[in-house]
């Protein structure tokens, strides 16, 4: 598939801007990047034997870390921005990095984008969490740029050692 270099650059810049919004704790602005019909999904990963990799992740409708639409995302954003979000005080220092951005498919006004990510979170003096994996995003082209219609987050880890999962990928 031949891809337009300008489109690739626009997609990368969108993803980098999104990461910056999260790292700057600008959750309301980040939330506005999602479409009305969005789906934000992180299935659970289990270690499987060779030749069983196709059963490595939970499926739609099964248990998941996140299986959210716009209303659920909005509740989490409001909670994080609330003065009662004691788990966020002081606010953690975060770094969202996305690399190896690849456009997998362009269909009408939707673009399927794959990328690898590293998410680092540090709170207080000694609590550190690292999350590594890949994402599959479906971006919808709108007048003012892109909006996220679907996000699938596939962690490399099978065991989560973080004390909470009150953050966004």
Q: Which whole number is the average pLDDT over 51-65?
A: 83
**pLDDT greater than 80 at residue 169:** yes
Other CB atoms within a 10 A radius of the CB of residue 8 amount to 15
Nearby residues of 69 by Cβ (< 8 Å), 6 or more positions away:
37, 38, 39, 40
pLDDT digits 0-9 by tens, 65-113: 999 999 999 999 998 888 776 666 677 899 999 999 999 999 999 999 9
pLDDT-based confidence at residue 128 (cuts at 50, 70, 90):
very high
Residue 159 tokens read as 């065991």
Instruction: Output the pTM of the full model.
Output: 0.89
How would you classify the pairing of strands 34-43 and 145-155? parallel
Position 89 scores a pLDDT of 65
Q: Are 86 and 80 in contact (CB under 8 A)?
A: no
CATH 3.10.450.50 fits 5-155, yes or no: yes
Residue 127 tokens read as 């609590």
Q: Which whole number is the average pLDDT over 138-162?
A: 93
Position 121 scores a pLDDT of 92
Residue 64 and residue 47: Cα distance in Å, rounded? Answer: 15
From 158, 93, 155, 159, select the one nearest 128 (Cα to Cα).
Answer: 93
Domain positions in the chain are 5-155
pLDDT-based confidence at residue 2 (cuts at 50, 70, 90):
low
20-54 b/e (C-beta count within 10 Å ≥ 16 → b):
ebbeebebeebbebbbeebbbbbbebeeeeeeeee
3-state secondary structure of 72: helix
């Amino acid at each position: 598939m031949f891809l337009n270099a300008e489109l690739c650059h626009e997609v990368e810049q969108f993803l980098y801007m999104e990461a910056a919004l999260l790292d700057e704790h600008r959750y309301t602005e980040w939330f506005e990047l999602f479409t009305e019909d969005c789906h934000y999904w992180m299935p659970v990963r289990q270690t499987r034997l060779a030749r069983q990799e196709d059963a490595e992740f939970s499926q739609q409708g099964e248990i998941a870390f996140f299986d959210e639409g716009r209303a659920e995302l909005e509740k989490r954003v409001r909670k994080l921005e609330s003065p009662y979000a004691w788990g966020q005080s002081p606010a953690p220092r975060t770094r969202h990095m996305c690399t190896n951005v690849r456009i997998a498919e362009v269909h009408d006004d939707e673009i399927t984008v794959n990328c690898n990510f590293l998410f680092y979170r540090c709170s207080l003096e000694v609590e550190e969490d690292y999350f590594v994996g890949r994402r599959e995003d479906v971006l919808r082209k709108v007048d003012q740029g892109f909006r996220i219609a679907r996000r699938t987050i596939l962690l490399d880890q099978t065991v989560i050692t973080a004390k909470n999962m009150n953050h966004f990928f």
